[in-house]
Amino acid sequence: MSKISIGIVGGAGYTAGELLRILIGHPQAEVTFVHSASNAGNKVSAVHGDLAGETELYFTGALADVDVLFLCLGHGLSADFLQKNVIASHTKVVDLGNDFRVNSTACGERSFVYGLPEIFREQIRTADSIANPGCFATAIQLALLPLTQSKLLQSEVHVNAITGSTGAGRSLSETGHFSYRSGNLSIYKPFAHQHLGEIEKTLRTVQGDSIPPISFIPVRGSFTRGIFATLYTECDLSGEEANSLYEKFYEHHPFTFVLSREVSLKEVINTNKCFLRVQKIGRKLLVTSAIDNLVKGASGQAVQNMNLMFGLDEAAGLKLKPIGF
């Protein structure tokens, strides 16, 4: 099988850097171009320093014909890019922004499939365009999917999730500076985070009827990468029944694991894994979910989707070692 030719647009950001790190080691991938209007002519490794010695690619301001195009643009910019540029009909598109996660037909001829493999794997296999899920959305949905598929999500869900600074992107803001983040915690967009729309859409699709409120408090952490989420809701299942439900749901998925012990964030950093722990405490079901926001929450999941779209092993190029300590 010939290698899959790949183009990356928005090549200077964190998600593009992670995408390159993964794709350079992918056995069936070949990066043809990395587009960045502001960095055209510069070496990719001059911006993504960790890739020095790994690639001799240069940024370009031009596009080329490829098998798959990854859009790593800022939120709200992908639809505009696709409208202004001619993309061949045979080119598959994976958008890592939020433009098509809720409105899948926001781009004329292309209809985007929501790229959460743990529930939409078969639709992804035949798709030509993928809306890659958001990072918080991935961690939260993976914690709730077994309940929704069994129509057991009936009571309000309370979510507290803390994310690393890379989740805010490479462009600096006041709350992204080291002097603000270091040794600090703060909440933002309580009950109104932009990922709630895609979460609620997926849960309604899976459960097939109305869903209870999702009360979500996002927290800025004083670390660079990862999401650690705790969710609880009232549930009639026993602890044994709940664990059995989750284990059965994820038994054929290569990256989501249900553990019988405490979950820690470092165990998933640098990987495409999601670690879950399910506990029943009184009437409440407590689910802990941990992912790397840049890998399973962004670029790793995008490659997982590419693998499915091209009929490859779902885990190709994604057997990544966590930092662990």
Residue pair 89/108 in contact (Cβ under 8 Å)? The answer is no
Dihedral angle over CA of 16, 18, 23, 24, nearest 10:
110
Residue pair 117/250 in contact (Cβ under 8 Å)? The answer is no
Query: In the structure encoding, which two tokens stand for residue 118, read together?
Result: 């743990």
Placement of tokens 């640098």 in the chain: 270
Catalytic residue among 72, 107, 135, 235: 135
User: In angstroms, how far is the first alpha carbon of the chain from the final one?
Assistant: 38
For 148, the enclosing helix (H) or strand (E) is helix 135-149
Q: Tally helices (H) and strands (E) across the chain.
A: 9, 14
- Tell me what percent of the chain is helix, strand and coil, each rounded to the nearest 5: 30, 25, 45
- The answer to whether residue 135 is catalytic is yes
The single-letter DSSP state of residue 107 is B
The single-letter DSSP state of residue 43 is B
Placement of tokens 């069994």 in the chain: 150
Placement of tokens 């598109």 in the chain: 93
For 196, the enclosing helix (H) or strand (E) is helix 196-207
Query: Residue 266: CA atoms inside 13 Å, Cβ hemisphere, count?
Result: 3
Q: How many CB atoms lie within 10 A of CB 153?
A: 24
Alpha-carbon span 189 to 162, nearest angstrom: 13
Tell me the CA distances in angstroms from 164 to 159, 168, 231, 269, one per residue in order.
Answer: 17, 8, 18, 11
Catalytic residues: 135
